[in-house]
Amino acid sequence: MPRFLIELEKKLDAFAAEGSNPSFRLFVSSDPSNSIPIGLLERSIKLTNEPPQGVKQNIKRAFTAFTKEEIDDKDTKIKTILFALCYFHSVMLERRKFGAKGWNMKYPFNAGDLRDSSTVLNNYMESNASSGKIPWDDLKYIFGEIMYGGHIVDDWDRILCKAYLDNLMNDALLDEAELFPFIEGRPISFKCPPPLPYEKYIEHIETECPPETPLAFGMHPNAEIDFRTKQCQELFATLQEIQPRGAGAGGGGAGSLQEKIQEFMHRVSDEAQLDSNKLNIDDIASKLGEDSRGPYQNAFLQECEYMNALIAAIVGSLAEIELAFKGELTMTEKMEQLMGAIFLNQVPAPWAKIAYPSTRGLGSWLDNLRHRLEQLNLWKEDPTKTPTVTFINRLFNPQSFLTAIMQVFAREKQQELNKLTVQTDVLKKLYWEEDLPPCKEGAYVFGFQVEGCRWDNALGQLEESYPKRPFSVMPVVNCRAAFFNTDAKKEQGLYICPVYKTETRGATYVFAAQLKTKHNPSKWTLAGVALILDVEGVSDAYSPGKQVGLT
């Protein structure tokens, strides 16, 4: 917060005491901030300038940022490119509403980016007027890497931005090209108009731009269901947080809180049996000789250490609260915060800090913890062997397991680890099928859910999602080590798909998988397609020994 604001508040108090001129007004502008003094806010008439909602309104606002003289005086090619640039600008802004599926991070795109891009467009077109050619590559680089790309820090978001520009900035744009990406076969359309007067462009936006739809962004209609659902979940979570702790408990507030805590304690001790299931790492290590302890064993031992640390934190915290209930310990602020989180079905912060990333509620999180523990208990029976199929979505650190795959390959082939990457080959089998072929190289893993499209197991490739089914479970995947591919031609027909631990994406990135597709890979990039490891209600249906088909 600027220091002068506190001084400004004092000066206004002094003016009020002295009696200032009745016509005196002070105008203050600011970005959104939580640090403005309350006294200053209370005496202010507050006005906000928020961006419009929807692609149509954003295109209209972007285009009307230019005056009639600016548009009408431009060359016909510049007019067309500028209109496409306004669409690009509106998509960059509006895509944020889809959350992590739209952008991995929130970026402050603004009207200045559009204005500067327009200036660069004019300069480049004037300098290349004699050649008659439009420098598409230069324009795409400036727009995507400097003007808008200057805000972008995530590599996958940069790829997304480039995909939009590749779809827009080409010679087809001058021939009334379709602006909505990969819209073939859909009942909607929004084309770039031919060169028109200023008023006609606005009329075109008003009459031709379809109603709001995820298809305008290159996304599947399911994306709107997802973000509307999350809006509702956030609303009800907020309502729940502001409710008194005893709401709906007939006035017995303290009793209802304590009852809910004790119910969760019962689940931890009796149902999940966390304390008795703590892993004996020394006993496991004693079963491993020097020859049998390899990268896979090290990865699983690391998982056991993570699990024990989390179990100790959970059991220890609940034991302290139980003693506080009995009056043997003084209730502390940390205990109250932990109890409040349990009451709201949230994972307490001290546990989340040492646990795996998760978006689950506390009850579902405990079930998932039990599933992860079951996989480690199965492995510890014979730690010299790697599981036939590893549930990668039930590992604290899946990167460690993937690194173990590359380490084994590097040792066998006498190669440098930094020259290797993980290659994914999708099988048509599930982990429980008896005719699953033996793994000759790398390891079999299960636990990927594809979001934004679906995996067609019969064809072995990505296809459009079914309505109202945002996730599609992948069959067993053979993860193996391979050398970095520097030949772009070999990647035709492959979509390089980011893998994330949770639906929040961003910092939960794991690695890039390779999935077959008959479509242009940019289609899936714009659709926000990614593989997610932990999806509540989807990945829970599968566990070792449980025969469940693909969904």
* CATH (domain of 310): 1.20.1270
pLDDT at 253: 44
407 and 277 inside one domain: no
Altogether, the residues listed in the chain come to a count of: 551
Q: Residue 496 phi/psi, 5° resolution?
A: -80, 105
In a domain, 37, yes or no: yes
| Cβ-count burial 115-126 (b if 16+ within 10 Å, e if not) | ebbbeebeebbe
The CATH number for 166's domain is 1.10.8.720
Q: Give the tens place of pLDDT for each residue, 391-427.
A: 999 999 999 999 999 999 999 999 899 899 999 999 9
434 and 532 inside one domain: yes
pLDDT at 489: 52
The CATH number for 505's domain is 3.10.490.20
pLDDT at 486: 65
**CA 97/CA 231 separation, integer angstroms:** 10
pLDDT at 250: 45
196 and 132 inside one domain: yes
Q: What angle do CA 278, 389, 357 make, to 5 degrees?
A: 55
195 and 337 inside one domain: no
276 and 260 inside one domain: yes
Q: What totals of helices (H) and strands (E) does the chain contain, helices first?
A: 18, 11
In a domain, 48, yes or no: no
Burial (Cβ within 10 Å: 0-12, 13-18, ≥19) of residue 77:
middle
Let me know: does 473 contact 449? Beta carbons within 8 Å: yes
In a domain, 50, yes or no: no
370 and 397 inside one domain: no
Domain final residue pick, 365, 385, 405: 385
pLDDT at 254: 44
210 and 287 inside one domain: no
**CA 303/CA 395 separation, integer angstroms:** 7
In a domain, 47, yes or no: no
In a domain, 49, yes or no: no
In a domain, 374, yes or no: yes
Q: What angle do CA 462, 464, 470 make, to 5 degrees?
A: 100
379 and 528 inside one domain: no
In a domain, 428, yes or no: yes
Q: pLDDT tens track of the chain, all 551 residues?
A: 567 888 888 888 888 888 888 888 888 888 777 788 888 888 888 887 776 789 999 999 999 999 999 999 888 999 999 999 999 999 999 999 999 999 999 999 999 999 999 999 998 888 877 777 889 999 999 999 999 999 999 999 999 999 999 999 999 999 999 999 999 888 899 999 999 999 999 999 999 999 999 999 999 999 999 889 988 988 998 888 887 765 444 444 445 888 899 999 999 988 888 888 889 999 998 888 777 889 999 999 999 999 999 999 999 999 999 999 988 989 999 999 999 999 989 999 999 999 999 999 999 999 999 999 999 999 998 899 999 999 999 999 999 999 999 999 999 999 899 899 999 999 999 999 888 999 999 999 999 999 999 999 999 999 999 999 999 999 999 999 999 876 645 568 999 999 999 999 999 999 999 999 999 999 999 999 999 999 998 988 898 878 888 87
In a domain, 224, yes or no: no
Number of structural domains in the chain: 4
297 and 414 inside one domain: no
Structural domain containing residue 37: 4-42
pLDDT at 487: 61
Let me know: does 114 contact 89? Beta carbons within 8 Å: yes
- For residue 52, which of 178, 200, 191, 205 has the smallest C-alpha distance? 205
> What is the SS3 assignment for 2?
coil
**CA 301/CA 299 separation, integer angstroms:** 6
Q: Give the tens place of pLDDT for each residue, 108-167.
A: 999 999 999 999 999 888 887 777 788 999 999 999 999 999 999 999 999 999 999 999
Domain final residue pick, 385, 411, 433: 385
411 and 549 inside one domain: yes
150 and 179 inside one domain: yes
531 and 481 inside one domain: yes
The count of other CB atoms within 10 Å of the CB of residue 308 is: 16
Let me know: does 302 contact 295? Beta carbons within 8 Å: no
pLDDT at 146: 94
- Predicted TM-score (pTM) of the model is 0.89
